[in-house]
Structure 1
Amino acid sequence: MSLSAIPVVLICQKKNATSNCIYRAPASDRSFPSTRISASRIVFDNVFPSLQIQAHCLKHRHPVRQRHNSNPMAPEAWLIAESDEDQRLPHHRNPREFVPMSKLQEIGVIYWYLDPKNYESNEELKKIREDRGYSYMDLLELSPGKVENYEEKLKNFYREHIHADEEIRYCLEGSGYFDVRDKDDMWIRIWIKEGDMIVLPAGIYHRFTLDTSNYVKLMRLFIGEPVWTAYNRPQEEHPARQGYVESLMKKGSGVAVAAH
């Protein structure tokens, strides 16, 4: 095993549990040395990557959340290897470079994990909406059978852009990727799954795509009447972009502003 072993927390999504569960990589997955893992926390090497996606809890027969983070409920995020391959693939670097939640917070990304099964009566969600003024809400399902011109819409979502307001998304079902630019203008891919609620600050360069599951159900939140206008890069003179860059400068983070 190399010195780059990564601590991974496995959490059964059905029970939100890290204990009393038995995890399994499928028998066809020969990259992992065992098909059963009874420990709630394991450490494995980068040569066993597929477990991160394919592990399941045998006891509760439910997919497992895998988190490379000190906060086990924080979303997985990593630096992207630029590629012309399908945008729905993970696009990991080699070796993989995971990004902790603290780095996302430095560039203004906010995150909560909320129970996706009772969102209509979730008190924490109500409080977040009240505290942050998210008065508007709707639901959006994306999949080949539910959206006309699905592939074309995916390409549109994947164009690098900013918004003049926050982008707030709460994943109720399925999964997808939000890509955001870090302070060095590198792409960070954030993998959102059921229960992940994410806020991208106004003015941050970002894009979105589904993953290979080709399905996601999102709650969209907004302050006041929704405005979905996207401003494609470059937008260095846009007030929202200038405000975002200024906020990073005040934090001492700095930001690369080279136009693409």
Structure 2
Amino acid sequence: MTDIRSTITRQPVTVDSGTSIRDAAREMERQGVGALLVVEDDNNLVGIVTDRDIVLRGVARGVSPDGRIDALMTTEVITIPAGVDVERAYRVFRDHAFRRLPVMEGRRVVGLVSVDDLLIRNERQVADLVHPLADEVLTPRHEAGPPEPTSTAPPAEPATPAAATPAAAARASAAAGVETEPSAVPELPPRRRQMRAAPGDTLVVHRGATRQPDRTGEIFEVRSPAGDPPFAVRWSDTGHVSFIYPGPDAEIRHHGEPAPSGAR
């Protein structure tokens, strides 16, 4: 069983029920969140308010920004107890049309799980499965060919025995007191090298086949220490974030590297 608390990525942001709408909006901006948990004495949860609530229930209806945030909050908050299995959260999100789920210990808020948290969790699990497969596809292993036929004729001249493998050659040289250069690390295929990135690089997806402009996004997170996919990308056309394994129509433009002439 996977405890729901293992999916919590940050502490919930709370505000007092008497906080003004203006100050609540500023707190959202400062914390970089889209929802606030509204609490009263001893961190007791009394409601939740989202940026959408502020726009639709507040701005659109002409509510003063000096009004109390509890005038805009949702009071019938569905919660989930700490310690339950994460599958319980999947079921709650499936059955209700909302994106955030407060995690409670009694009446005290201890966390906030979102649909995004569960998607990221799934992405990490898929990445763990796909990464070895990607290595196999991008760096295929070649089976050894059949053994060469041996000749029955005796050798004309005695020859110096040749080492069968680089490792054997190194051992033979060491025995003779000859220093050898270390074996070179096999180079990765060009496609594999081109798909390595670092935060700050740009992912470009070419869409010439559909007569549409190329799509670009900033790579802001790379999970692999070597820079291999998947990448977390913030798309420049929508501002949305997605985790992506680039396809054959994509390229990486490294930070500071000028775009090629003619690039769209």
Q: Flag the structure with larger Rg.
A: 2
Shared fold (TM-score, shorter chain, > 0.5) = no
What is the TM-score of this pair, normalised by structure 2? 0.28
The structure with higher relative contact order (CA 8 Å, sep 6+) is: 1
What is the TM-score of this pair, normalised by structure 1? 0.29
